[in-house]
Amino acid sequence: MDYFLELFLGGLTRGSIYALIALGYTMVYGIIELINFAHGEIYMIGAFTGLIVAGLLTMYGFPGVSILAIAVVCAVIWAAAYGYTIEKVAYKPLRGAQRLSPLISAIGMSIFLQNYVMLAQTSDFLPFPELIPHFGFMESMGSIMSSSELVIVLATISVCVALTLFIKFTKLGKAMRATAQNRKMAMLVGINVDMVISATFVIGSSLAAVGGVLIASHIGQINYYIGFIAGIKAFTAAVLGGIGSIPGAMLGALVLGLTEAFATGYVSSDYEDVFAFMLLVLILIFRPSGIMGKEKAQKV
């Protein structure tokens, strides 16, 4: 039973991180119908920024919890800046081009960013300091759930709630939903669509950066390649839940995280990534619109 619970909570943690990344995919896809391939790289850049800031602060002797807070804030700022810039450089000039063009541009951007970080930093695995504190009250549950797992799950839940409220009630959130529904109509009623698209990229990138710092601190090491696999898996989660739907992305991430945890726990850990890809292929074949997505008629 303990083993089951451990796997379940591990899956919950995984799912939380996937959710944080998947939200960015799904928001961008909802608005401009583009798979932002570079999104996984934003997550990686967030983790690297967090590492650099944390390293600096540790050296100057800052206390533990403030390091985590400042590292997360810096990671969010820079990841958001990268997201904003990528949209302006690689996607905006291609609006209205053929469907394949922005996608190829996105793949190019992803390759570029990976190699940029590799050349500027290193191609080796870097140890990531443990930023999340150990709580005393978690000692008794140490065998099934660690403090960092608890922090990750709680942080994800609060971020998801905040995002849902933001999308539902704020002016910008409403503008986003309007743009996702019909970009031309949104323009006609006076929504600054370019601004909304930029905001989407900024928000999505910030969420990915939060995920990046938290998971890096939990696992304890990063390298320039982590964004690729995480990005594909988060995309799987977004598709699983129905791409374009925000609650769908959260649900899909949870399902994916749990599936992976149980499959590696009970079947075989060698094929961890294969399970995720198989799940992706199967969903796309049998239910391409996802769990919570709507079936869309093809327009002529």
Nearest to 273 by CA among 232, 219, 221: 232
Nearer to other proteins, 162 or 281 (CB): 281
Closest approach of other proteins to the CB of residue 174, in Å: 27
Nearer to other proteins, 58 or 164 (CB): 58
Residue 130 burial (CB < 10 Å; 0-12/13-18/19+)?
middle
What count of Cα atoms within 13 Å lies in the side-chain half-sphere of residue 177? 13
Closest approach of other proteins to the CB of residue 277, in Å: 4
Nearer to other proteins, 9 or 78 (CB): 78
Q: Can you tell me the distance from the alpha carbon of 80 to that of 244, in angstroms, rounded to the nearest whole number?
A: 20
Which residues contact other proteins by CB under 8 A? 34-35, 45, 48-49, 51-56, 58-59, 74, 78, 81-82, 85, 89-90, 93-94, 97-105, 107-117, 119-122, 126-129, 228, 232, 235-236, 239, 270-271, 273-274, 277-278, 280-281, 284-285, 288, 298, 300
Closest approach of other proteins to the CB of residue 229, in Å: 9
In sequence order, the 6+-apart residues with CB closer than 8 A to the CB of 224 are 44, 48, 114, 115, 117, 118, 121, 122, 123
Using an 8 Å Cβ cutoff, are 191 and 177 in contact? no
Nearer to other proteins, 80 or 152 (CB): 80
Closest approach of other proteins to the CB of residue 206, in Å: 15
Closest approach of other proteins to the CB of residue 242, in Å: 12
Using an 8 Å Cβ cutoff, are 252 and 239 in contact? yes
Nearer to other proteins, 37 or 163 (CB): 37
Nearer to other proteins, 173 or 241 (CB): 241
∠ CA(246), CA(238), CA(288), 5° rounding? 110
- The residues that bridge with 222 in the sheet, in sequence order, are 126
Closest approach of other proteins to the CB of residue 100, in Å: 6
